[in-house]
Amino acid sequence: MADVTIRPAGSRATKTASSDSFTGTVLQDSMATPQAPSRTSATLVTFTPGARTNWHTHKTRQVLVATQGTGMVQVKDKPPRILRAGDVAEVPPGLVHWHGAVAGHLFAHISFVETDGPDNTTWMEPVDEAHYRSVAVPPEA
């Protein structure tokens, strides 16, 4: 008979995200990996102030659950959207976007993605500093 699996917080290794796909210091804590028949992975991602993903797409839907601080998500050619703890962003498959911390703020979210093979994410160019500074203005309290 199946049972509940509990992974204590201290048992999960935290890694620094690759500079090939992220700008700034970003920490990743794998919370759940796909176990057949499920294809869902969950990762706690913590962005230091100014840190962000590169532009990217996913083959499947991504759900971001903001857990701490103030961040943003931006779709290519659209204005950025602010994310605060408790907010949920659903990113449809194939949508070019990036997400990360608002300037001067720490930000964390849990990313849920259904994997569709090893290359579920297509990483693109970094969000350049000039673009980031033009959109990453801290929101009014």
- Is residue 40 in some structural domain? yes
Strand ranges inside the chain, DSSP E: 14-16, 22-23, 26-32, 40-47, 52-53, 56-58, 62-75, 81-84, 88-91, 97-101, 107-114, 121-123
pLDDT at 141: 39
The domain of 84 spans 17-135
The CATH number of the domain where 48 resides is what?
2.60.120.10
pTM, rounded to two decimals: 0.90
- Is residue 9 in some structural domain? no
- Is residue 56 in some structural domain? yes
- Is residue 141 in some structural domain? no
pLDDT at 139: 61
- Is residue 109 in some structural domain? yes
- Is residue 80 in some structural domain? yes
pLDDT tens across 10-29, in order? 788 899 999 999 999 999 99
Closest CA to 104 of 60, 50, 56, 52: 50
What are the Cα distances from residue 88, in Å, to 53, 65, 110? 17, 5, 10
- What domain count does the chain have? 1
